[in-house]
Amino acid sequence: MARKRTPTYIPLKSIKMISIAYLVASLIRTFADFFALSFIIAASKANYHGLDSTSVLLLHLAIGFAFSGFVFSLRKSRSDILLSSFGSLLSLGLLSIPLFTGFFPDPIFLGFAMGLGRTFWNNSLLLATKQNKTLARSIDNAGMLLTTLLLPFSIFAATNILPAPDQSLFPLFSFLCIAQSAGLFSTVAFYVICNHEAPACLPENSKIYPSTWRDDLIPLIARSMILGILLALFYLLLIEANGFDFLGSFSSSKHLALITISSFVGILFFYIINHPLRTIGSAPWGLLLSGASLMFFVLYPENIILLAMLTSLGIANVFACCRRACRPEDLLATPPAMLLFNFAPWLFAISFGWLFYQLKLTPMLAGVLLVLAGLILAWVTLRAFLEQLLSIALILPYKMSTHGPGIEQMPYRGPVIMIANHAAYLDPFLIGKVVTRRIIPMMTSVFYDLPVIYWLMSKVVKAIRVEAATFRREAPELNDAIEALKRGESLLIFPEARLRKKDDQLLFPFGQGIWHILSQLPETPIVPIWVEGPWGSYASHYKGPPFANKKMDFLREIKVVAGEARVIPKELLAEHRLTRKYLQETVLANRTILGLENASPEQNEDLAKD
């Protein structure tokens, strides 16, 4: 019997240092790969003997990357780093062949080696952060920003070492081998530094609540198609086909710097509004911007540099969104999901590249295609798209921060109930801005039944309608909530069932609804949330009704505190008063994380009987 490995405790400071080491190694590897690809493509465009034409070279590279997408793993173990090292070693071997033989092997093999190395290297990100997804996203976002600056430098360096056409090209492959050796060395060094295994994440929920078309596969298909379209357009641009022959206009270092800066702005904008579930919702505006700019290329060619900057800004944002959207660590690592993530984009790229070339797609038609793709993607990912627009609208009014272990501990699959205090009408949007799950709120009929809002809540958000009545014999919304939890959804409930109206009343007594739900599904985890800051805002009852005779909020500090996820003890669930009191206390206890006093919950007569 294999000996079970005992997990070791690693301080957060050490995890951060390992994560920074991962970032440094990533930049070295990225430069090595970009440098090699830029050099080979530039040499092919210059018609150096021994290399295929640019169109054939790009096609074979894409096929190689596609093949690497069939080899997938998400065990989050050190074996991923070894496989990534093997990919770098294989790339080094392939780039060494021309040094000794004067013959460059088929680019399919190089594409496969680089694709294999990069896929498994990306898989090891969670290992570097010991399953801390918040830290992992920060490291990955920083890597994207720095890579945006690294790419043009790689292109500039690779194109400027090309020899004269009458000189031999292959001795210069030694530069590529040196770069790949540095990438291989950095990966092996990281393997030595990162000597821990990442913990498993709720495998039982992975079996009970599998991937669904709505939540996982449709966004993955949309992501794959968008990446395929963009890669196919890059193919036309590099081979200068069908009117895509304006690369010469950007040959100067000044123009390259301007386009780099605009791409950096696109990545930076994505970085500000990045969210695990809503990331794909930012891609439509980038497609619309880049598509409109492409159309204006034809109409106003004298403004080609400005339009190129706008196009690169939009496309950089789309690439960043697609790179972060539907990440395997936020999904179940099922074979269909992994194939769609790693293989499908290259399959679409090859298919669209051939189709666009055959149809003689022009920049004008490509712009129209991107605009249509943006509109279609906005509809397909409507909730994510609208939530991203709302998230952007909340950037200036509110300065958000998260605290407590609950956000990181929240199960990524299966039912969960978030309970929170309710101080302002914007509370659901503020919580939804930071929570990493798709929320189904319970919403009063006063707002639910309003025109337009009704369609959004019932068709897009799938919110649960709560009849606004003081006394009722039946509460069908409780059955709706139970059914949603059985489907593995996450609910946001304000157990007070009313908005805060007094300055000295932190938390109104909880109603019995939450107990009725938990009595039917006692194993459902609860994440208690305290939102500090909405009281006194434009949308609160502080000194008057919400939205009336008040100044708009500007950079108002909002702190969302999520306590540790927990299952209510069975002995408390036996009595509704005990359950309600316990939940009130857990929500109020989150205040201590912010250094605030742990106030005692207010009780009505029903609760006071205990």
327 occurs within a structural domain: yes
Question: What's the CATH number where 337 sits?
Answer: 1.20.1250
Q: For the residues 322-344, what does the mean pLDDT come to?
A: 74
Assess whether 88 and 222 both reside in one domain: no
pLDDT score, position 473: 67
pLDDT score, position 610: 44
Cα 522 from Cα 422, distance rounded (Å): 24
Assess whether 211 and 353 both reside in one domain: yes
Assess whether 226 and 362 both reside in one domain: yes
146 occurs within a structural domain: no
The answer to whether 378 and 385 have CB atoms below 8 angstroms apart is: yes
Assess whether 413 and 536 both reside in one domain: yes
pLDDT score, position 213: 59
Higher pLDDT, 278 or 351: 351
Assess whether 373 and 399 both reside in one domain: no
* Mean per-residue pLDDT of the chain: 84
Digit-coded pLDDT (tens) for 79-121: 888 889 999 999 999 999 988 888 888 999 999 999 999 988 9
The answer to whether 104 and 171 have CB atoms below 8 angstroms apart is: no
Digit-coded pLDDT (tens) for 123-153: 888 888 877 777 888 888 888 889 988 888 8
Helix 133-160, helix 12-45: angle, nearest 10:
30
Digit-coded pLDDT (tens) for 542-565: 888 888 878 889 999 999 999 988
294 occurs within a structural domain: yes
pLDDT band at 248 (very low <50, low <70, confident <90, very high): low
Count of domains observed in the chain? 3
389 occurs within a structural domain: no
Q: For the residues 252-259, what does the mean pLDDT come to?
A: 81
Question: What's the CATH number where 529 sits?
Answer: 3.40.1130
pLDDT score, position 371: 96
Digit-coded pLDDT (tens) for 261-287: 999 998 888 877 777 777 888 889 999
Higher pLDDT, 491 or 49: 491
Closest CA to 366 of 497, 198, 233: 233
**Residue at which a domain ends, from 173, 195, 217:** 195
Beta bridge partners of 502: none
147 occurs within a structural domain: no
Q: Is the pLDDT assigned to residue 23 strictly greater than 90? A: yes
pLDDT band at 345 (very low <50, low <70, confident <90, very high): very high
pLDDT score, position 109: 95
pLDDT score, position 36: 93
Assess whether 464 and 324 both reside in one domain: no
Assess whether 222 and 291 both reside in one domain: yes
142 occurs within a structural domain: no
Assess whether 286 and 427 both reside in one domain: no
How would you list the strands of the sheet with 416-420, edge to edge? 398-403, 556-562, 526-532, 416-420, 490-493, 439-444, 464-466
**Residue at which a domain ends, from 323, 349, 383:** 383
**Residue at which a domain ends, from 172, 195, 218:** 195
153 occurs within a structural domain: no
Q: Tokens in use for 151?
A: 């790419």
Assess whether 178 and 269 both reside in one domain: no
Higher pLDDT, 329 or 174: 174
Q: For the residues 282-303, what does the mean pLDDT come to?
A: 90
Assess whether 331 and 437 both reside in one domain: no
148 occurs within a structural domain: no
Domain extent for 371 = 204-383
Assess whether 191 and 250 both reside in one domain: no
Q: Is the pLDDT assigned to residue 169 strictly greater than 70? A: yes
Query: What percentage of the chain carries pLDDT values higher than 90?
Result: 37
Of 27-31, 326-330, 391-395, the range with the highest mean pLDDT is: 27-31
Cα 439 from Cα 279, distance rounded (Å): 15
Assess whether 378 and 456 both reside in one domain: no
pLDDT score, position 328: 58
pLDDT score, position 207: 43
pLDDT band at 243 (very low <50, low <70, confident <90, very high): confident
